[in-house]
Structure 1
Amino acid sequence: MAEPNWIELAGVVNMRDLGGLTTERGEVVQARRLLRSDNLQDLPADSVRTLVARYGLTDVVDLRTDVEVVREGEGPLRALPEVRHHHLTLYREDTDESGIPAAERSLPWERGDAEAAATRRAAEAASPSSPAATPPSHDEFWSQHYLSYLDQRPDSIVAALRAVADGEGAVVVHCAAGKDRTGTVVGVALKAVGVPDEEIEADYAASAERVPRILDRLRQRPAYAANLRDKSVAQQSPTTDTMRLLLDALENRLGGVHAWLAGHGFDADDVERLRRKLLAPDAHSDDRAAADGPGDAGQPE
Structure 2
Amino acid sequence: MEQTRWISLEGAVNVRDLGGLPTTDGRATRFGRVLRSDNLQGLTASDVALLSEELGVGHVIDLRSLAEVQREGPGPLTRLPGMTIHHLSLFVETQIAAGVEVDKALPWQSRTVQEDPEHKSVGFYHGYLRDRADSIVSALRVMAHEEGASIVHCAAGKDRTGVVSALALEVAGVAREAIIADYALTAERLDAILHRLLSSETYHADLRDRPTDSHLPHAFIMERFLHGLDRLHGGVLNWLAANGWNDDDTGALRSRLVR
- Secondary structure in 1 aligned to 2:233? coil
**Quick one: which amino acid aligns to residue 34 of structure 1?**
V
Identity of aligned residues (%): 45
1:5 Cα deviation after fit: 1.4
- Secondary structure in 2 aligned to 1:85? strand
Paired position in structure 2 for 1:5: 5
Preserved contact between residue 32 and residue 55 of structure 2 (Cα < 8 Å): yes
Mapping 1:271-282, distance limit 5 Å: 271-280=250-259
Paired position in structure 1 for 2:135: 156
**Separation in 2, partners of 1:163, 1:73:** 22
**Quick one: which amino acid aligns to residue 84 of structure 2?**
R
Among 141, 145, 151, the alignment partner of 1:172 is: 151
Preserved contact between residue 72 and residue 222 of structure 1 (Cα < 8 Å): no
Among 138, 141, 145, the alignment partner of 2:124 is: 145
**Higher Cα Rg: structure 1 or 2?**
1
**Separation in 2, partners of 1:276, 1:218:** 36
- Secondary structure in 2 aligned to 1:224? helix
Among 240, 245, 249, the alignment partner of 1:261 is: 240
Q: Which runs of 5+ in 1 are unaligned?
A: 121-134, 281-301
Preserved contact between residue 67 and residue 100 of structure 1 (Cα < 8 Å): no
Matched, 1:185 2:185: no
Preserved contact between residue 4 and residue 206 of structure 1 (Cα < 8 Å): no
**Separation in 2, partners of 1:223, 1:199:** 33
- Secondary structure in 1 aligned to 2:12? coil
Preserved contact between residue 65 and residue 93 of structure 2 (Cα < 8 Å): no
Preserved contact between residue 66 and residue 93 of structure 2 (Cα < 8 Å): no
1:167 Cα deviation after fit: 2.4
**Quick one: which amino acid aligns to residue 83 of structure 1?**
M
Paired position in structure 2 for 1:109: 108
Number of aligned residue pairs:
257
TM-score, normalising length: structure 1: 0.81
**Separation in 2, partners of 1:211, 1:94:** 31
Paired position in structure 2 for 1:80: 80
Q: CA RMSD in A?
A: 2.1
**Separation in 1, partners of 2:127, 2:102:** 25
Preserved contact between residue 162 and residue 270 of structure 1 (Cα < 8 Å): yes
Preserved contact between residue 14 and residue 37 of structure 1 (Cα < 8 Å): yes
1:95 Cα deviation after fit: 4.7
Moved over 3 A (4+): 93-97, 99-103
Deviations 1:248-280 (A, max 9, x none): 011111121111111111111100000111114
Paired position in structure 1 for 2:48: 48
Deviations 1:102-135 (A, max 9, x none): 54x23111223xx69xx99xxxxxxxxxxxxxx9
Preserved contact between residue 40 and residue 75 of structure 1 (Cα < 8 Å): yes
**Separation in 1, partners of 2:94, 2:217:** 25
- Secondary structure in 2 aligned to 1:148? helix
**Separation in 1, partners of 2:127, 2:93:** 12
**Separation in 2, partners of 1:51, 1:223:** 25
- Secondary structure in 1 aligned to 2:201? coil
